[in-house]
Structure 1
Amino acid sequence: MNELIRIENGEVKADSRMVAEHFGKRHDAVMRDIRDEQEKLPEEDRHIFVEIYYEDAYNRKQPAYEMTEEGLMQLAARYDAVSRRKLIVKIKELKAQNQQKQPQSQAEFIFMMAQQALEQERKLTEIQGTVQVIKDAMVPIEDDWRLEIKRMINRIALKLGGGQNEHLKIRHESYETLEKKAHANLEIRVENLQNRLMRNGASKTAIRTANKLDVIEQDPKLKEIYTGIIRQMVIKYCEGV
């Protein structure tokens, strides 16, 4: 729980996952409670809760909320008094520990400021990387559509490890998402394509190697939807690269 509640620049910061753990609640229920609190608060006070994202065990980005001490106390008021009291004690302990860590000399102060500057530079680099990923993903495909799709899939797979399993995982996820969005059965469409090729006298190799990407490329609607899906996946998995 410690890394999800911390002192940052002298201020208490907490994570909604910590709240869920501390009060013995499901994280999605805590998220709903936070949104409910936000709706009840005036616009100028909603900054005490900020939506963030973290990577789960499968490297997928999942939503959470970061909150100030005010936000933490605002939310904790919904839950039981005993756990809330333990949380208040924990915050006091963190503040006391942080006070002890404050620089005692000019040299320590300079070192601390240098560390903060490095951290800010790191965060700025991450933001710039995210912006570049989004720009790259949204570049219009004017030449070889199939080659560009493969390039983007390779980029995602490399981020996840670069192995064959990662490539298969990305393709499976992208096709599954397409089927849901377009209400299409790609397996049946591949069979239909193979039958058409057979009727038109295509070679056995052409019939055998016909695949889902062939089906998508030949259907303008599926092609447009699938391009959008792959772009979203680039942003989702490669953000900050």
Structure 2
Amino acid sequence: MANCLSMLPNLESLSIMLKPLIRLPDQRSRQRSPPLLRAILPALIYFHFIGNSEYLEDLVSRIDAPLLVSLNLQFFDQPIIGIPQLSHFFSRTENLGLLTRAFLNFNCQPCIFFRPTGDEMIGYRHSIWLSWCELTNQQLSFMVQICNQLSPILFKLKAFSIYANSGEQWLQDGTDPAEWLGLFRPFTAVETLYVSKDLGPHVAPALEDLSRDPAMAVLPELRQVQFESSQEISVNQFVTARELSGFGHPLTMEYDKNFIWFEVI
């Protein structure tokens, strides 16, 4: 595939849609193959992929798209083995470094979406969208793994929104505050955190846990937390601990039951 793409220097838009059962040749046989040169797609702006993460990992390890501004990836599988090549691909794509906001939606098809403060760039919406087709009952731990592998684009983000609805079984079963802290850990530059109504009772205890170890390097630049709620959610210990910890940023809490997710990010 990469060799074929290298013969299309004027290609601006690429869509690849695979059937769920397509798999790559055995990894050992591919390792014995001679190394391939990375194909450069100098005009590619938009890339849409539907398939399994293994195929995408192999493809993005062999291509560069320096002008790419919009990336939409939909996976059939859950990439438990990791997505290191995708992470490297992001780091090689300069425009993707301009993203400043993230939106994480926990539902039957979990997705994470990134965009910059501005809306448009050379005719395409400047964004990354990753989603997974399979339902998982361990969505939080799964997204912790994914976000920690996406650190090349997370460390510059300034705003982070997380959403779920109360019907999700994994929420009804309860969550571990330590996992929420694991989710937040790669977002080292985030200044504003938006939390949906049904996640507030789960995220608040995690923030309170930070008060027991103020030196913990989780959300060190945080300045504002906004809960989708008309009632105050208690995170007083967290606020007090941050004020005393010397992080240097005053922390404000806001409660608003009316904010719209795709507007706040």
Question: Larger Cα Rg: Structure 1 or Structure 2?
Answer: 1
Both proteins in one fold, TM over 0.5: no
Higher share in helix: 1
Higher share in strand: 2
State TM-score, norm by structure 1: 0.27
State TM-score, norm by structure 2: 0.25
